[in-house]
Structure 1
Amino acid sequence: MTPAGHRSRLLAATVVVIATVLGGGISGAPLAGAAAASAAAVSYGVGARSLSQPSPGGRHVYVSTTGSDTYKQYNRAACLRDPANAGQYQDRCPEPTASSPLRTVQAGIRAARPGDVIVVRGGVYAEAIGWGLQRGTAERPIVLQASPGERVEVNGTLIMASADHWTINGIRFTYNSAIQTGQSVVLMSGGDGWSFTNNEVQGTRGVANVLVNATTASGSTAQLAAAAPRNYLIGGNCIHDNRAVDAAGTDHNIYLMSSIWSTGGLIERNLIAGAPRGANIKAAGSTPATASGSPRNVTIRYNTLLSAASGLTIGLAAEGVEAQRNIIAVPNGSGRYDGAVKTYQLDQPGKNAVKDSLLSGYARPISEDFGVTRHIFTARNDTATPFSYTGSIANCTATAASATIRSSYGHMAR
């Protein structure tokens, strides 16, 4: 199955389905990677709505708070991961069925082989998960999903490196001070063709709730290109409330440091809110000395970005960052340098674009560095229409109060 078909199957039953995919980057070229693959665009909603089916020869790998990671004295994950071992020691390696599940999400990840679907039953799992995974393939992707209709919470952290053709779907990730020792609740490093969809991430005390970077920042050009994320999708999520108290401008909800070798990123249909000491989305390296960590070729569309010092920050060596049809509103904690869209020592402003979006409530809709002579490309942004929302950020129900706004902008547009 192709990545496009895989994503469409996972996300077909959504709250709202948008029928039109916007074409054309800044230069008018077609969108690449995940953007091109998203022919059935995602929409917002936390939780899994259907049970994904394994690829031919794959399995459903069940995880439950009532399960066990051991059988007699043996580690089930190690045995289940290797088909030869599973056949040789069947008496000590029962399959992870619904009636004989594993106990931890991490054991499910360790056990999974290309083509498998990990199904996590409802409950709270206090874990650090994601290490030691096998890579999927376009023909045999790996899915980690909540059981349909059940509330699954990972109270800890997800760290995945080179998660080729993995999908994480329908899980709630919450901060745990005893487990999250890094900079984010969710960290996706490198990887080709991965998707992070219909999840909730909240409460970090680090620099981001979701951090995307490369697996290494050194090496040859070929090594750096291989280390960068490619063809990835962050869609339909609720990502909220960065509670860190670092210097202004440093604590974000999504932090894209995917590197100048990255390509094919798509961030769409997310509700992202609550970053009073930073941006809801920052697309830049961390400092001028690490400008090569800035992302390239990423489309940010149909998101609702609320209650942050800046809605979107684009900086340093970022290129091909195109934002469209977003709501950026309800400033919170803004300082003199903040704005709905903020640039940060942006080297190539004309190669990035913010267009067809609602920028409401900010004293500076577009806040660029003082003294710049080259400006970020903007077109058809609405800076005059007042904005309010109904529902709750904490409960992931916030949406534009105006039906007119909902029809054109943000994660619920249709």
Structure 2
Amino acid sequence: MAAKNDIATIVTYETGKPLVEALGEVNYALGFVWWFSGEAERAQGTVGYSAIPNRRTITNKQPVGVSVALVPWNLPVAMILRKASAALAAGCTMIIKPSPETPLSVLALVELAVRAGFDKGVLTVMTTDLQCTPSLSEGLCKHPLVRKVTFTGSTRIGKLISHHCSDGLKKLTLELGGNCPFVVFDDADVGKAVDALMQLKWHHTGQACITANRVYVQKGIYDEFQRLFVERTKQLKIGHGAVDGTTLGPLTTPGGVDKVEAHVQDAISHGGRIALGGTRPSHGSGFFYPATVISEANDKMLVAAEETFGPLCALFRFGTEDEAVGYANNTSLGLASYVFTRDVSRIWRLLERLEAGMVGLNTGNQSAAELPFGGIKESGYGKESGKDIAINEYLITKSATLTVDEVASVKL
């Protein structure tokens, strides 16, 4: 806790995100540490009776063994503490390979762990550059002493990691791409929906797996929603993350800027209209791109099919509930979906119909230590955080049976 501001400052200089967001990430990450401190005491086996006479059944939980965490650059502190806290609670050591863009924040965390009393080697960091990342990651996945791998990143790389782990049948957790839909119905609280989208879309300049990538607004409120959202977005202040007042920092990599520009130009070529932004700043340096809103988006655009991972928000119109569900599910990914409506029956229907591992119901903030985090379809498998579930990703279950002899009869 004493080093919270220092860690946040490192994150800001590594990722570019505003300092207030970096502090928020550190606080969010600490929630996992507290949660899994308690989970360590709740990893329990069972004792039961068998259908066979005089037989007892036992299950016992044990650490799976050495684990490896391959973590991304967008939330370096939160991602590693969510993974490492679960592994440590289960009794596993962990080797961490941070992204080449953000090694310092992870190294600082492990240094703090050693100062706090952790034995050296319980948490190990292996840094590398972009060129050597593939070979190092493959080597860790295939090492015979490694029994568990957890990866957060793109679906394309996740499939490679899965292939590497298949040779040794390693236990694997994959948290992959999102391309998440955000659906707003006519009967929704428009102000509440706009508030949620502001946080969900522009946080870390749109570089989060659960950010809203496709925003579907019902026809009856489309114009009002767009007006309010654009007005709020105009208030964002773009700048260096360490400068007071900055609310929209740069993208972390140059490739991120190129992808946003490509999506914007593609949207324009397919009939989209720029409601805000859309032009890279001509002055200064850095990987800056303004918050951009595209109206009259359609399914022919790249933004409908690909995760932008940047400050671009596309607004789509829809008419009926069935249309909204069809648009939302029209993707190979299934990480998170968001729904805003006052109709309780519709909330239940969409909870069941939307193809996503997590569904925000009148909320854009659904990630918490006590709630399982993970997707379906090509967004991966396995869960991080949540009661009993996440720690079991780092445990094996042994089954045992015991035959109990009957008491010998005694003659008096």
Q: Give the structure with higher Rg (CA).
A: 2
Greater fraction of residues in helix:
2
Q: Tell me the TM-score normalized by structure 1.
A: 0.23
Relative CO higher for 1 or 2, CA cutoff 8 Å, sep ≥ 6? 2
Q: Tell me the TM-score normalized by structure 2.
A: 0.23
Greater fraction of residues in strand:
1
